[in-house]
């Protein structure tokens, strides 16, 4: 095959070109064909086809300094591997992922994930941070893909730490959670550098002359090697050679460059020990990135491990923790593969409700009753014991088990796990901080993503008992008063407009003095809906105390651990942290408005039930309700 400028194939790729292209999909162990995996760095992109779990073929590396976009790289790669068209794609990229829009910080590439997916006609395009992918690869790396430095034995199912010096210094960790792992998002590389001896103090002083804050990343990274070179140069040095030259000369025996590498390795030992202590990483510390694998045996024999264990009273603790250098050829591919597989697995589970609906007619009559219960109350089923499920569906407990097995599950526990994953895993839960300099698209995406994520979290934490009690109180209320100050005043006004339609005298007050007077006029049968983000305003608390002492009931829509929540008759907790001193409380206000909507719908359903009962007794309840609504509008107009 003719060579192509800007990229090269390794020997494994060259061996499977030509006629074998057409047979790749047939060899794939995935039902929908091979998957495309890519690892995007600042100036290089590696691509591969995953034909079976963690089995990669057609590995290619692109030098992207003359390429304008990631899409161009992917199109070039797909063109050269032949007719294979992957439908699921996973990409690791050396950049934070804060939503749909990605703007690389180490080069001029920028793209929308969804737009790229549509343009490339992929079914799935999953983009993750490259260090997250590297972290997820660790449980799948075998003894032949890592080299231990020093002693220590890893504990099973224990926290794992990860460091990766390269263009920067990545730090992360893995926390075991039942049968899966959770990655830690971290900016630990920007923690302040701590010198371990007098030589490192001199290096730190040199760095301070240039930077007001010297982080670990300033020194334990590619640019850090150059900075150490300058600091250790006799008489100083205005310019240092590239890190590749320093590494090559140091490994060849150059005295000065060798001292630079020694200093670099011992500094990394200090940072690795700090990570181990902070995380309690008894599962081991792994070293990745682009620099350490280049050092080979030099790193093994360096002062890294000695410095790692040099923690005074905690030296014995650290001596038990093993340290490894990752030697796997493409660990990023492994991590992306794991994350993509998990994503697709949850995507399949998300359709379980539809699967139950489609399979219902194939079930027995008793199993259909169990299916109907799942379709009506899926979240309740997830948390209910088998006896309660059987009672609610009016079937026997063995029938519930048969229902699960008829759908292809081993039993109820397996079915519940799949159902829960589908209910909570369809929307990513993340929070992206809005910052100065965000462009319009980034700003919009962050605000909308934060809102969607917050709604999903709130939905999953909602307490149905509190909603039912509050709806019942409002349904029976003789009078309803909405109290809200500041941003919550808008929510109070919205509540007034909604509940006036039920024909109940309803007002909204935002002035604390008017609230205090109104609270003193309330009595038994009246309800106050107190809305507050933090639930700590003294004026609001005084008004609530007055209302309660007068015999009224109080519904609080506020933080679940606040003083207002503790005083209320019923609290609907809305726990969402916002940087309120810097930004207007946006998400919490939307959540408060949604609570008002939920309560209004709950009251409307109760009143509809009341109307049906009244109609059965011969009353024209609809006309009665219309009369009450007109009266409420007249009251509002008089005010």
> So what's the pLDDT on residue 433?
53
Q: Are residues 615 and 484 in the same domain?
A: yes
Give the pLDDT mean for 390-408: 91
Give exposure, 518-532, as e/b (b: 16+ Cβ within 10 Å): bbeebeeebbbbbbb
Higher local confidence (pLDDT), 483 or 622: 483
Instruction: List the CATH number of the domain containing 355.
Output: 1.10.10.10
Q: Is the pLDDT of residue 86 over 60?
A: yes
User: Which residue, of 108, 130, 152, is where some domain finishes?
Assistant: 130
The tally of domains found in the chain comes to: 4
CATH label of the domain that carries residue 117: 3.30.420.40
Identify whether 638 is part of a domain. Answer: no
CATH of the domain at 268: 3.40.367.20
Same domain, 626 and 493: yes
CA-CA distance, 51 to 192, in Å (whole number)?
44
| 114, 219: one domain | no
What band does 6 get if pLDDT is binned at 50, 70 and 90?
A: very low
Instruction: Note the pLDDT of residue 182.
Output: 81
pLDDT for residue 29: 77
Specify if 85 maps to a domain. yes
Same domain? For 107 and 168 the reply is no
- The answer to whether position 637 is within a domain reads no
Q: Is the pLDDT of residue 617 over 60?
A: no
Higher pLDDT, 300 or 618: 300
| Lookup result for tokens 């019942």 | 472
Return all residues near 136 (Cβ < 8 A) that are at least 6 apart: 174, 181, 183, 334, 335, 338, 339
| Mean pLDDT estimate for the chain | 82
In a domain, 345, yes or no: no
Q: How many CB atoms lie within 10 A of CB 142?
A: 7
Same domain, 112 and 166: no
201-215, 430-444, 583-597, range with the lowest pLDDT: 430-444
pLDDT digits (tens, 9 = 90+) for 582-613: 444 577 889 999 999 999 999 998 887 655 54
Assess whether 15 and 117 both reside in one domain. yes
pLDDT of residue 460: 67
Tell me, yes or no, whether 169 and 318 share the same domain: yes
The answer as to whether 297 is a domain residue is: yes
pLDDT of 311 = 92
**HEC letters along 99-156:** CCEEECCCCCCEEEHHHHHHHHCCCEEEEEEHHHHHHHHHHHCCHHHEEEECCCCCCC
Read off the pLDDT band of 270 (50, 70, 90): very high
The residue out of 130, 151, 177 marking a domain boundary is: 130
Q: In what order do the strands lie in the sheet with 55-63?
A: 7-9, 55-63, 44-52, 35-40, 88-93, 124-129
- In a domain, residue 498? The reply is yes
Residue 202 in this model has a pLDDT that exceeds 70: yes
pLDDT higher than 70, residue 2:
no
The pLDDT of residue 30 is: 79
Question: What integer pLDDT is reported at residue 245 of this predicted model?
Answer: 93
The residue-averaged pLDDT of 534-560 equals 93
pLDDT of residue 438: 60
Q: Is 285 a residue whose pLDDT tops 70?
A: yes
Domain end call among 103, 130, 157: 130
- Whether residue 40 is found in the same domain as residue 11: yes
Q: Which two tokens stand for residue 321?
A: 């923790």
Instruction: Determine the average pLDDT of the residues in 60-88.
Output: 90
Range of the domain at 232: 142-327
The SS3 of residue 429 is coil
Residue 5 confidence (pLDDT): 33
Q: Which residues lie closer than 8 Å to 567 by C-beta, 6 or more apart?
A: 541, 544, 545, 548, 554, 556
| Mean pLDDT value of segment 279-301 | 92
Q: pLDDT of 93-110, one tens digit each?
A: 988 777 778 888 778 888
Co-location of 181 and 126 in the same domain: no
In a domain, 66, yes or no: yes
Please give the average per-residue pLDDT across 509-526, as a whole number: 93
Residue 587 pLDDT: 79
pLDDT at 495: 95
> CATH number of the domain that 611 lies in?
3.40.50.10490
Calculate mean pLDDT across residues 544-560: 94
Mean per-residue pLDDT, 562-572: 93
Q: In terms of pTM, does the model score above 0.75? A: no
Higher pLDDT: 621 or 586? It is 586
Please check whether residues 394 and 473 belong to one and the same domain.
Answer: no
In a domain, 230, yes or no: yes
Query: Are residues 233 and 100 part of one domain?
Result: no
- Quick one: pLDDT at residue 42? 78
Rounded to whole angstroms, the Cα distance separating 311 from 319 reads 10
pLDDT of residue 392: 92
E strands, 559-623, where?
570-573
Per-residue pLDDT of 46-70, as tens digits, reads: 999 999 888 899 999 998 888 889 9
Query: Quick one: 169 and 60 in the same domain?
Result: no
């Amino acid at each position: 095959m003719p060579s192509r400028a800007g990229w090269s194939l390794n020997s494994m790729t060259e061996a499977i070109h030509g006629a074998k292209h057409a047979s790749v999909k047939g060899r794939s162990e995935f039902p929908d064909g091979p998957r495309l995996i890519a690892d995007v760095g600042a100036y290089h992109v590696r691509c591969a086809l995953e034909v079976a779990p963690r089995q990669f073929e057609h590995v290619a590396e692109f030098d992207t300094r003359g390429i304008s976009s990631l899409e161009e790289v992917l199109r070039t790669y797909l063109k050269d591997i032949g007719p294979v068209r992957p439908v699921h794609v996973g990409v690791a990229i050396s950049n934070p992922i804060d939503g749909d829009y990605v703007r690389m910080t180490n080069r001029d590439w920028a793209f929308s994930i969804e737009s790229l997916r549509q343009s490339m006609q992929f079914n799935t395009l999953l983009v993750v941070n490259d260090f997250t992918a590297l972290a997820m690869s660790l449980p799948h790396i075998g003894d032949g893909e890592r080299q231990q430095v020093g002693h220590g034995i890893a504990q099973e199912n224990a926290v794992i730490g990860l460091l990766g010096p390269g263009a920067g210094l990545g730090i992360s960790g893995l926390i075991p959670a039942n049968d899966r792992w959770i990655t830690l998002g971290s900016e630990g590389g920007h923690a302040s550098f701590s010198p371990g001896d007098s030589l490192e103090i001199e290096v730190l002083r040199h760095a301070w002359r240039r930077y007001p804050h010297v982080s670990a990343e300033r020194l334990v990274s590619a640019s850090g090697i150059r900075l150490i070179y300058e600091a250790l140069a006799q008489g100083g040095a205005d310019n240092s050679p590239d890190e590749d030259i320093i590494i090559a000369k140091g490994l060849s025996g150059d005295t000065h460059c060798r001292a630079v590498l020694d200093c670099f390795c011992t500094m990394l030992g200090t940072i690795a020990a700090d990570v181990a202590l902070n995380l309690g990483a008894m599962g081991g510390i792994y070293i990745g990135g682009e620099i350490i694998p280049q050092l080979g045996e030099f790193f093994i024999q360096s002062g890294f491990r000695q410095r790692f264990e040099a923690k005074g009273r905690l030296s014995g603790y650290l001596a038990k923790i093993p340290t490894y250098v990752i030697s796997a050829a493409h660990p990023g591919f492994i991590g992306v593969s794991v994350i993509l597989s998990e994503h697709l697995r949850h995507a399949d589970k998300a359709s379980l409700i539809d699967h139950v609906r489609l399979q219902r007619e194939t079930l027995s009559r008793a199993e259909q009753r169990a299916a109907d219960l799942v379709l009506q109350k899926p979240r309740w089923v997830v948390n209910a014991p088998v006896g309660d499920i059987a009672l609610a569906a009016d079937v026997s407990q063995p029938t519930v088990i048969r229902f699960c097995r008829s759908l292809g599950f081993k039993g109820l526990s397996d079915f519940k796990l799949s159902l829960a994953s589908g209910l909570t895993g369809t929307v990513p839960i993340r929070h992206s901080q809005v910052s100065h300099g965000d462009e319009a698209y980034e700003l919009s995406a962050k605000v909308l993503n934060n809102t969607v994520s917050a709604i999903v979290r709130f939905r999953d934490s909602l307490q149905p008992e509190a909603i039912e009690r509050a709806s019942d109180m409002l349904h029976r209320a003789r009078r309803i008063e909405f109290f809200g100050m500041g941003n919550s005043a808008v929510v109070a006004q919205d509540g007034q407009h909604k509940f006036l339609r039920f024909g109940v005298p309803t007002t909204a007050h935002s002035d604390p003095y008017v609230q205090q007077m109104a609270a003193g006029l309330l009595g038994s049968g009246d309800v106050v809906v107190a809305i507050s983000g933090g639930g700590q305003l003294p004026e609001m608390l005084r008004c609530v105390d007055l209302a309660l002492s007068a015999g009224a009931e109080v519904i609080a829509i506020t933080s679940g651990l606040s003083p207002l929540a503790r005083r209320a008759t019923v609290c609907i907790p809305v726990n969402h942290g916002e940087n309120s001193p810097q930004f207007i409380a946006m998400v919490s206000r939307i959540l408060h408005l949604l609570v008002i909507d939920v309560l209004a719908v709950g009251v409307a359903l109760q009143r509809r039930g009341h109307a049906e009962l009244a109609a059965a007794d011969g009353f024209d309840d609809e006309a009665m309700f219309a009369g009450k609504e007109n009266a409420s509008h007249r009251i509002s107009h008089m005010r």
